[in-house]
Amino acid sequence: MRHVIRRILFYICAVWVAITLDFFIPRLAPGDPAAALVGKMSTKGYITPEMQQTLSAMFGLNTTDPLWLQYFKYLGNLLHGNFGNSIQYFPTPVIQIIQQDIGWSIMLGGVAVVISFFIGCLFGMIVAWKRGTVLDTVLSPLMNFLSAIPYFWLALISLYLFSYLLNWFPLSGGYDSADIDPGWTYDFISSVIQHTFLPALTLVISSMAGWMLTMRNSMITTLSEDYVLMAKAKGLSQGRIMFWYAARNAVLPNITGFAIAIGTIVGGQLLTEMVFSYPGIGYALLQAVNQQDYAMIQSVFLIITLAVLGANFLADMLYTFLDPRVRQERSA
Amino acid sequence: MQIQEVPRPISAAPAALLTGDPPLHVRSLKVLLVIWRAMTISPRVAVGSAIVGFFILVGLFGPFFMTIDPNATSPLFIAPPSAAHLLGTTVVGEDIFSQLIYGTRTSVFWGLGTGLLVTLLSIVMGMVGGYFGGWIDDLLTLLTNVSLVLPALPLAIVLAAYFPRGPLTISLVIIFTNWAWQARVLRSQTLSLRSREFVTAARVGGENALRIIFFEIFPNEIGLVVAGFVSTTIYVVLTWAALEFLGLGDGTIPSWGGILYWAQQAGALGGGLWWWFIPPGACIAILGAGLSLINFGIDEIADPRLRREHPIKGKNSEKAVAA
């Protein structure tokens, strides 16, 4: 129980650091980003006094409040779910845009994470079992190479190959927005699947290697345990030893990794969404960076951070539950 | 593997006992020798080192052989690869091969340099905390753990968006977001080393704490530091490319990620200009693969259980050897 309380306190501390960073980064930035942005936007001729006010408020310019008061007002705003207004879609609140987009991200990432987890673990298990054979010597370095490929470049290549050259998949978007209205119809769902397939595939390919290598290494360690030898001596079938004796114990690091991966769904696929113009959080972030929509950039960061922290907390608790040794551990 | 079979003169034994540990430079040399031996023993590490070495050479000397300025525009728009332009030209007629070679210099050296700085920061944060213990350690451990759970890439994007564009910003942002993982590893190693006899001896001998940390303990952790440096550098190169691909780099300095950014902005994909976006990504991937091959080899050296078994051993005898 002591351990659990310590972890809870730690995560509260981490959330506080993230929020505080989010508050101070715009105020510490060198130069005057707000003025630069206002100048840039007024040359394009679409800045209104309200927008200017929003911007100044964000950078803490239009107020005589001392810094600590600004800070508490900012915390109060966050507690009320007020993340500020977007500049590029002024005056839509940022949170509204995020709510629209996050579903797409979660769907794409969720599918990709689950598939790559299962394929990766299975491959890692088999490769460790067949260690030293051709399968291992070919597959392990190949996976190594795949994990070193920048995943957004893999996305570019597959988009070029399958969408541009072969014309199998659409070039961009989350569904065919020209012809189909969103809804639970057959047309819409099949269009979504068609648009999601390629981004999900590139995510699976680039993240599979990590699962496989972890599983392989952990499985190799497990295979040299005495209880595996015992199982072999008892004459159990290969499959039974592989799944019920070795893999079951080797999968522990990957299970906590899985909980963390669930949290990185949104953050880990930012660039994939950008390449495929997929209507999720990542694409929104790209547009925000291009348009210098600071409120949007910061809110996306906060949302992603909260998701990651939540998942890490979950993984921590899961590990405590799965491995009793952790509960007794005293941090030195 | 024992080579020391030559019988030593008897008088050498007490002398060796009296001198204790060999001096620092001898120990460091030994470590280097071990690394060199490891590099030549494992084919994986050898191939990986060759790849990384190749990119370093291209980055160092490549630009001297370039006759075309990477930023010079020409009326030859969107030309496919030819003898004059080995990798074709961009939409404004820049030579992509020249950009790639100059980009190698930027990407490889900023990547390696940043990897080195990340490693240095993590050495300081990890070892100081691990050695001193007490509230210093508590504070540094808290910092490390918080930094570990904050998502690195989104934080890097936020920071890079606010600060002036350029390699220095990207480098600092990456250092700030990526030091924690290695610091944690080094902290626990230092923690286990600090109660060893040679450290106690140095402390009793009145040596300065910082000197003990960096001259007594550090040489024992070089293997870990090298492994950490290699895996950090892979991550740095990838993150670097990602930030530049987002348009957070300096567009006037050619780099791998920068080329990808301009290709994406110009719609190279929809136009089928494969010679524009395939080469820089391939370079990143190959450099990353080279580095991870080295890392794979280091892992095998560190954990003998991961080493490839020799087929001569029978399936049953392997267990007997391990036991």
Give the position of tokens 């001596």: A233
pLDDT of residue A36: 66
Contact predicate A48/A259, CB 8 Å: no
Contact: A150, B241; criterion CB under 8 Å: yes
Query: Per-residue pLDDT averaged across B210-232, rounded?
Result: 84
CA neighbor of B165 nearest in space, from B244, B104, B245, B281: B244
Mean pLDDT of chain A: 80
Q: Is the pLDDT of residue B228 over 60?
A: yes
> Shortest CB distance from B146 goes to which of A14, A153, A160?
A14
Q: Is the pLDDT of residue A47 over 70?
A: no
The model's pLDDT over A264-280, given as tens digits with 9 standing for 90+, comes to: 777 778 888 888 888 88
Q: How far apart are CA A283 and CA A296, in angstroms?
A: 12
A29 to chain B, any CB pair closer than 8 A? The answer is yes
Q: Taking CA B300 as the corner, what is the angle to CA B297 and CA B301, rounded to the nearest 5 degrees?
A: 90
The residue with greater pLDDT, B290 or B222, is: B290
Contact: A153, B191; criterion CB under 8 Å: no
pLDDT band at B315 (very low <50, low <70, confident <90, very high): very low
- Cα A297 to Cα A36, A136, A289, B33: the distances in Å are 17, 43, 7, 49
A153, two tokens: 């470049």
Contact: A220, B289; criterion CB under 8 Å: no
pLDDT of residue B312: 43
Contact: A297, B311; criterion CB under 8 Å: no
pLDDT band at A223 (very low <50, low <70, confident <90, very high): confident
Q: How far apart are CA B235 and CA A265, in angstroms?
A: 18
Q: How far apart are CA A309 and CA A233, in angstroms?
A: 45
Residue of B nearest to A316 (CA): B149
A309 to chain B, any CB pair closer than 8 A? The answer is yes
The model's pLDDT over A49-94, given as tens digits with 9 standing for 90+, comes to: 777 776 666 665 666 677 788 788 888 888 877 777 777 776 778 8
pLDDT of residue A34: 65
CA neighbor of B176 nearest in space, from B118, B239, B243, B231: B118
Q: How far apart are CA B184 and CA B192, in angstroms?
A: 13
Query: Per-residue pLDDT averaged across B30-56, rounded?
Result: 80
- Cα B231 to Cα A148, B237, B284: the distances in Å are 11, 10, 14
pLDDT of residue B316: 44
Contact: B270, A164; criterion CB under 8 Å: yes
**pLDDT > 70 fraction of chain A, expressed in percent and rounded:** 86
The residue with greater pLDDT, B321 or B139, is: B139
ipTM, two decimals: 0.79
Choice among A51-60, A120-129, B139-148 with the minimum mean pLDDT:
A51-60
A83 to chain B, any CB pair closer than 8 A? The answer is no
Q: Is the pLDDT of residue A14 over 50?
A: yes
| pTM attached to this predicted model | 0.78
**pLDDT > 70 fraction of chain B, expressed in percent and rounded:** 85
Q: How far apart are CA B245 and CA B256, in angstroms?
A: 9
Chain B: closest CA distance from residue A181 (Å): 26
The residue with greater pLDDT, A36 or A254, is: A254
The model's pLDDT over A151-172, given as tens digits with 9 standing for 90+, comes to: 778 888 888 888 888 878 887 7
In chain A, residues with a C-beta closer than 8 Å to the C-beta of B299 are 217
pLDDT of residue A303: 85
Q: Where are the alpha helices (DSSP H) in chain B?
A: 12-19, 24-41, 43-61, 96-132, 134-149, 152-162, 167-178, 180-193, 197-204, 209-211, 222-245, 256-265, 274-302, 317-322
Chain B: closest CA distance from residue A316 (Å): 12
Contact: A25, B285; criterion CB under 8 Å: no
> Could you report how far apart the first and last alpha carbons of chain B are, in Å?
19
pLDDT of residue A73: 81
Q: Is the pLDDT of residue B12 over 70?
A: no
Query: Per-residue pLDDT averaged across A175-189, rounded?
Result: 74
Q: Is the dihedral of CA A218, A224, A230, A235 positive or negative?
A: positive
| Exposure string over B117-135, b if 16+ CB within 10 A, otherwise e | bbbebbbbbbbbbbbeeee
Q: How far apart are CA B299 and CA A213, in angstroms?
A: 12
Q: Is the dihedral of CA B244, A205, A169, A89 positive or negative?
A: negative
pLDDT band at B322 (very low <50, low <70, confident <90, very high): very low
Structure letter (DSSP) for residue A31: S
Amino acid making up residue A306: L
Query: Per-residue pLDDT averaged across A121-141, rounded?
Result: 83
pLDDT of residue B115: 93
Give the position of tokens 């950008």: A274
pLDDT band at A329 (very low <50, low <70, confident <90, very high): low
A130 to chain B, any CB pair closer than 8 A? The answer is no
pLDDT band at B306 (very low <50, low <70, confident <90, very high): low
Structure letter (DSSP) for residue B7: P
Query: Per-residue pLDDT averaged across A120-147, rounded?
Result: 82
The model's pLDDT over B79-138, given as tens digits with 9 standing for 90+, comes to: 778 777 778 777 777 888 888 899 899 899 999 999 999 999 999 888 888 888 888 888
